[in-house]
Structure 1
Amino acid sequence: MKTKHRNDEEYRKLMNRLNRVEGQVRGVKKMLEEEQYCVDILTQVSAIQAALNSFNKELLSSHIHSCVVSEIQNGNTEVVDELCESIKKLMK
């Protein structure tokens, strides 16, 4: 299993984004429990998807700048295939 140590700033940024998403999901759950209007719930779900996309962009950028660059510098070009597969999954 591969691991990656993140510096404090990167870790904080990613955790802040995830905490916001978590709060948004709890908000949607509450909206559903309170029988709020469908379109209002859908609007919030769209905001959650946008927040997750922002998280993915941040993490992908960090991955490219650190893990991918490091692996290529060490002669492992297979990491490019792994990156391409990851991007394909993100773009579904």
Structure 2
Amino acid sequence: MPDKERKEEILSRLKNIKGHIDGIIKMVEEEKECEEIMLQIAAVKNAIEKVGYFIIESHAAECLSSVGNKDDIQRILNIMMKFLG
């Protein structure tokens, strides 16, 4: 689990993404132009990826600092690569 400061930042980012998605829903309901909607979807996609990287960074720093076992290190790296892949 990330420290309190990182957890707050992750939650803040996720809440921001949630608000952004609500905005996209409204745009679809109001039949906004496809280009506008797709631009907002791309922004949400990028924001989600950034949150994922932030979580991976936090997890890796926390987990790898206390791991002495090669199998555990490989398991953590495999989790990270699944997200990145």
TM-score by length of 2: 0.87
Show CA shifts across 1:49-78 (max 9, x none).
1101110111111111112221x2xx3322
- Does residue 33 of structure 1 match 2:42? no
Q: Which has the higher contact order (CA 8 A, sep 6+)?
A: 2
Show CA shifts across 1:21-80 (max 9, x none).
10111111111111011111110010001101110111111111112221x2xx332222
CA distance in structure 1 between the partners assigned to 2:45 and 2:75 by the alignment: 24
CA distance in structure 2 between the partners assigned to 1:32 and 1:67 by the alignment: 42
Give the aligned residue type for 2:70. Answer: T
Q: What percentage of residue pairs aligned between the two structures are identical?
A: 26
SS in 2 for 1:35: coil
- Alpha-carbon RMSD: 1.4
Structure 1 residue ranges without an equivalent (≥5): none
User: 77-86 vs 43-52, which deviates more?
Assistant: 77-86
CA distance in structure 2 between the partners assigned to 1:17 and 1:47 by the alignment: 13
2:47 to 51, 69, 82: 51
Structure 1 stretches of 4+ moved >3 Å: none
Query: Who is 2:17 aligned against?
Result: 21
- Does residue 83 of structure 1 match 2:79? no
Structure 2 residue ranges without an equivalent (≥5): none
1:62-77 matches, within 5 Å, as: 62-70=58-66, 72=67, 75-77=68-70
